Structure 1
Amino acid sequence: MSKEGTLTLSEQQLVHELRTQRSFLGHPKAVGTLSFMQLCNSFANYTMSAILIYYLYATKVEGGLGLSQTDAAQLISLYSALSLLAGLVGSYVADRILGPRAGLRLSRCAQAVAYVVLAVPGMGIPGYAASQILLIFGVMLSGRSLESVMGKMYESGDERKDGAFTITYTIANIGAAVPAIAGAISLVAGYHAAFAVGAVVAVLGAGSYLLTERRFFGPIGDKPDDPLPAAVKRRIMVGIVVALVAAVAILALLFMGGSLSIKQFANTMSTAAIFIPIIYLIYIVNSRKTTRGEARRVLALLPLYACNCLSMLVWTQSTSILAIYAETSVDLNLLGFKISPATFQTIPAVLGLVFGSLAALVWARLGDRQPTNPWKVGAGTVLWGLGPVFMCLPFILFPAGVRVSPIWLVAFYVLIIAGEALNSPTGYAAACTVAPAAFATQMVTVWSLSQSTGAGLSTLASQFYIAGGEVPYFLIMGGLTIAMGLIVVAGSRALNRRMGGEADSKGRIE
């Protein structure tokens, strides 16, 4: 927010009033706006992601783009990695140039336009590419500003903060429960009709923020936390736009000339997605703006960071390899009707709503007796790892070509979404807790970039996936994830102390 020392007395009073509101489920009204906007954004994003892989490899006669399944899977993982990586630029822009509120405003508008572009029929690969570029550009304007603004809506030590992140996570999953609808629409009216539904909802989400921003947020988050001089701001923003346009033009020429393949591009960018977040984390720790105490707290977050990397590695299997598996190897007949394979993307959303609500209730009931944040992340990671290990069973029990019961995929989602309910909101809360003062938004983005590392690993790992080799592929992935989770659980109390948690019997971070 605007630095409190520079606020007038009336502005400071307004900030206090806004932060102490309990109008939305016991939280400030601004949290309601942020939650609704996240609901709409997740609605649009899940509508797109549920059917996008099928749109990419469906033939042109079927209304798709006619790519190979391998290229489609790599593009899905690559988009995840690049969008998360773009968040690093976005959080720098929010922290030093625009401020988190302005970044969030521009980002949601750009992304709404992206969904509209994807919904326009007849644009083919250029339309798909333009929509993905706009979505990534939107992320480059804000990074994780929504979570940063959310954290700023509470006074230091306000125990409602963790609950706010859990509420937003849970509400977002309501919007994510639309893949079944999107899949049905795509079967009946085509892919672009389904994309259009998501576009309308994205526009509604951006509009709600624009209409309530001034009244519900006041001066909170309206200025950069660590502003650059005005002249430097202009140069950087112009540089970002010029660099993006130049990169798009060069890539277009290379693709059209046959000098660059999807596989080559995916490998290069995925490698960057793995290492850039780590390099930036080193920069934050060694920055002169980071105190030694802040650096120690950030370093204590590293094991949790690794857990999130592996969780994302597992998740991207569900949107790529297992999404194709759902179409080719799962029985899609339900009471005599054929359902869309995109319907399975609804399952994690519904489970997220159930497990997220349950987690919020349990933590509220336990209060100061709840487990430490590192313990929650570690235990959640173990559940993430059990998912791919469990998916080895249908490949062992049934021969290739046999369509298996959808219960196998449902059980996989039960395991990983139970893990997500434990470690996703908790991880963001922990990142906010250890964030150095000069890197408030960027630290939240660095946490998100652990998912970029995971998505990058998934893009590279998918090259080692071969039909018939699913058991060792999933067993290695799940085993590594379980091992990392157990390590964090074992060291949870020590990690929590180093992250700045209270030295009570549970060491819980306040």
Structure 2
Amino acid sequence: MAQSPAAAPTKGHPKGLYLLFTTEMWERMSYYGMRALLVLYMVGATDKGGFGWSQAKALQLYGLYTGLVYATPVIGGYLADRFLGQRLSVTLGGILMMLGQFVLAMPGNSEALFYTGLGLLVVGNGFFKPNISTMVGGLYEPGDPRRDGAFTIFYIGINVGAFMASAVCGTLGEKYGWMYGFGSAGVGMALGVIVFLALGNKFLGNVGKSPTHVKSKASASSPAAPRVALTRQEWDRIVVILVLALFVVFFWAAFEQAGGLMNLYTDAKVDRGVFGWEVPTTWFQAVNPLFIMLLGPIFAEVWTGLGRKGKDPSIPAKMAMGLLLLSFGFVFMLGASKQSEAAGKAALMWVVAAYFFHTAGELCLSPVGLSMVTKLAPTRFASLLMGVWFIANAVANYLAGVIGGYAEKLGEFDLFLAITIATAAAGAVLLALAPMLKRMMHGADETKPVEQVKLDVESAPKTQVA
């Protein structure tokens, strides 16, 4: 789905990947910095600048906010495809999110400012998120074995930002005041916009400059233009995207307990002492991105190596593995809840072990899913379908807040047990469906030998829209 001819493949990656990596890193530092503080801020005492809300109310708003964050990309993707182009959309989204963080940082503990800041973040994310992900796919030709590995590298950038968020924004907000945490998140987003604008033309070429709808119309005017109507194969591939999105809801509804229920659980019921020093609660939000940085390069190399050998597992099979690993991670939360019930506090290693397996599952599912959309989506609907993919995250994030709110009624153990069973069942069903879904992709997920992709790139016309 390259929007301009990519460089002939080598063992390395285009420089544009690392620019998008850096831009996404700063944006995720902004997002996760705010996320690490959000529920703690809402339940925090009013005399310390918080709102003093109940846990259930805070988690409900948390779920609504994160759900909207992942719902608006379908609108942002549509506007990028039809009118704005991906580059302009990413810039606009970054600026809106920067402003949102600075509004949250304004002193006064005002609910009006609070909701205004959240609104700017929601709209800005809608422009930013689907389009930067789609641009990563635009750097590679169809069949390029580097694509899944590229999305895993890109995903490492996401989690470098998330790690910085906990270390910087979380520490400043928790220790020195909420406004400093939110303000530092705004500075991070500003840096991302500056880097993207300064280096975009140099490293990205024409990728993302023009709306893909305009490109498709231009191609359709030529004598050898492809059919405008979607083919049966294209419809099958869209169906695969939608089916996998349903299973993604199960994954993220469970995984996103990290920012809500597991965050509050860690704050209240985990012994965070290490050699006489208490680890700040927000620092636990850095465990997942730390594991991503450690495991991400391994996964990237494994997927790329298997792709070159023609032994790469199918996308649905990888995603099923992700669900099963996530389920296994919640087994450790069962151990934690049993210990906290018996002793008052759970050992922090239970939570760390849970995050380890959640991270391994995430690496099997999330970057692979992003790569999958760029492989299967028809070019003229690329950003729109990336937005649709994020709708699954929107539903899941809203459900995560609703599910987390039941902890007060059911107890943590019963809730963690239900999550464990549900994600294991979803993973088993997806694994059974994997062969059928692979057939419906009609070869779009298959890689080519590097030599063949080089020949395709060299023989492609300069204005190719793949």
Q: TM-score range, shorter-chain basis?
A: 0.7 to 0.9
Q: What are the equivalent positions in structure 2 for 1:33-182 lying under 5 Å apart? A: 33-178=19-164, 179-182=166-169
Q: Which of the residues 294, 299, 306 maps onto 1:354?
A: 294
The answer as to whether partners of 1:329 and 1:402 remain within 8 angstroms in 2 is yes
What one-letter code is carried by the residue in structure 2 that aligns with 1:337? W
CA distance in 2, matches of 1:80, 1:431: 21
Q: Which of the residues 187, 192, 217 maps onto 1:200?
A: 187
Whether 2:283 is the aligned partner of 1:343: answer yes
Shift of 1:363: 1.8
Shift of 1:63: 2.2
Query: Structure 1 residues 220, 399: CA separation in 2 closer, same or farther (over 3 Å shift)?
Result: closer
Q: Which residue of 1 aligns with 2:211?
A: 224
Whether 2:309 is the aligned partner of 1:322: answer no
The answer as to whether partners of 2:28 and 2:161 remain within 8 angstroms in 1 is yes
Shift of 1:383: 0.9
Deviates more, 1:121-130 or 1:349-358: 121-130
Q: Which residue of 2 aligns with 1:309?
A: 249
Shift of 1:347: 0.3
- Aligned residue for 2:60, secondary structure, equals helix
CA distance in 2, matches of 1:315, 1:428: 17
Task: String of CA shifts for 1:49-96, please: whole Å, max 9, x gaps.
Answer: 112211111112122122222111111111110111111111111111
The answer as to whether partners of 1:392 and 1:474 remain within 8 angstroms in 2 is yes
Q: Which residue of 2 aligns with 1:381?
A: 323
Aligned-residue RMSD, C-alpha: 2.6
Q: Which residue of 2 aligns with 1:369?
A: 311
The answer as to whether partners of 2:59 and 2:402 remain within 8 angstroms in 1 is no
Query: Structure 1 residues 130, 472: CA separation in 2 closer, same or farther (over 3 Å shift)?
Result: same
Shift of 1:501: 2.5
The answer as to whether partners of 1:40 and 1:205 remain within 8 angstroms in 2 is yes
Q: Which has the higher contact order (CA 8 A, sep 6+)?
A: 2
The answer as to whether partners of 1:77 and 1:316 remain within 8 angstroms in 2 is no
Q: Which runs of 5+ in 1 are unaligned?
A: 5-14, 229-287
CA distance in 1, matches of 2:234, 2:288: 36
Q: Which of the residues 198, 202, 225 maps onto 1:211?
A: 198
CA distance in 2, matches of 1:336, 1:420: 33
CA distance in 1, matches of 2:367, 2:431: 17
Q: Which of the residues 320, 337, 346 maps onto 1:404?
A: 346
What one-letter code is carried by the residue in structure 2 that aligns with 1:62? K
The answer as to whether partners of 1:148 and 1:440 remain within 8 angstroms in 2 is yes
CA distance in 2, matches of 1:227, 1:139: 24
The answer as to whether partners of 1:99 and 1:224 remain within 8 angstroms in 2 is yes
| Matched pairs, number | 434
Q: Which residue of 2 aligns with 1:242?
A: none
Query: Structure 1 residues 183, 214: CA separation in 2 closer, same or farther (over 3 Å shift)?
Result: closer
The answer as to whether partners of 2:287 and 2:355 remain within 8 angstroms in 1 is yes
Task: String of CA shifts for 1:139-180, please: whole Å, max 9, x gaps.
Answer: 333450011111112222222222221111012211211314
Shift of 1:468: 5.2
- Aligned residue for 2:67, secondary structure, equals helix
Query: Structure 1 residues 290, 139: CA separation in 2 closer, same or farther (over 3 Å shift)?
Result: farther
- Aligned residue for 1:391, secondary structure, equals helix
What one-letter code is carried by the residue in structure 1 that aligns with 2:17? V
Task: String of CA shifts for 1:218-250, please: whole Å, max 9, x gaps.
Answer: 33221211259xxxxxxxxxxxxxxxxxxxxxx
Q: Which runs of 5+ in 2 are unaligned?
A: 216-227, 454-466
CA distance in 1, matches of 2:153, 2:426: 27
TM-score (norm 1): 0.79
CA distance in 2, matches of 1:207, 1:21: 29
Q: Which of the residues 382, 386, 389 maps onto 1:447?
A: 389
Task: String of CA shifts for 1:175-198, please: whole Å, max 9, x gaps.
Answer: 211314433323432121122222
Query: Structure 1 residues 142, 70: CA separation in 2 closer, same or farther (over 3 Å shift)?
Result: same
Q: Which residue of 2 aligns with 1:189?
A: 176
Shift of 1:407: 0.9
What one-letter code is carried by the residue in structure 2 that aligns with 1:202? M
Q: Which of the residues 413, 428, 432 maps onto 2:370?
A: 428
TM-score (norm 2): 0.87
The answer as to whether partners of 2:60 and 2:401 remain within 8 angstroms in 1 is yes
Task: String of CA shifts for 1:455-499, please: whole Å, max 9, x gaps.
Answer: 222233344332552233222222121111122223323321211
Shift of 1:304: 2.2
What one-letter code is carried by the residue in structure 2 that aligns with 1:452? A
CA distance in 1, matches of 2:199, 2:190: 15
